[in-house]
Amino acid sequence: MKKSFLLLSLGIFAALPMARAADITGVINFKGTAPAEKELTPIKDDPTCAALYPGALPKTKFYVVGAGGELADVVVSLKGISGKSTGTTAAPVTLDQKGALYTPQIIAIQTGQKLIVKNSDQLVHNVHTKPTANPEANQVQMPGGADLTYTFDKPEMFLKFQCDVHPWMFAWVSVYDHPYFAVSGADGKFTIKNVPPGKYTLEAAHRKLGTQTAEIEVKADGVAQSFTFEPKP
């Protein structure tokens, strides 16, 4: 009798649908007029860098807004999930120095995940991290020099990278102790993959425009959640 009951129970559990991970998708939009970007005028004082831009000087890229109001460089993440980093086995992420600018300017990685900093310029750069939770680093990188590799042990939002040789060069790296995050692209879209079913708080963070949150529930078919930012008063 016990054996029959056990077999029946196993059969029932086998027939139950297994909860599976799904994706969170969405679009980040900007409503209104974005603040004007400023020319990187200090480039003029460096003849070598000025020669890279014989026409118009590049501008800051604090508000990357598309023709339809799509907002890039927004870091979207799940709040309240900790201790689940897969960073040590995740693929490295690359931060390049090209045209005396950091590319991309906004990055998100996991704790323990490698961040590779390249120098694609024929210039000397100085990679200087300015963290609030992780140890500071300050390294010279010669033209054609070896890549620099960084890892961070603690979560931190918008950890600043700067070049002390070229004071207009900045990038910001957000570090999470889980893999559930994404950065919106030029089309404003983002996707956070393979999220376990459940209820979560989803946070969208822009370095200049602040943060927004939404309560969501991930089910088998995923969930869509968008955000709209406006200029600060």
pLDDT in tens, 136-188: 999 999 998 999 999 999 999 999 999 999 999 999 999 999 999 999 999 99
Say how far apart CA 144 and CA 49 lie, in whole Å.
17
Residue 17: pLDDT band (50, 70, 90) is very low
* Confidence (pLDDT) at 81: 85
Residue 119: pLDDT band (50, 70, 90) is very high
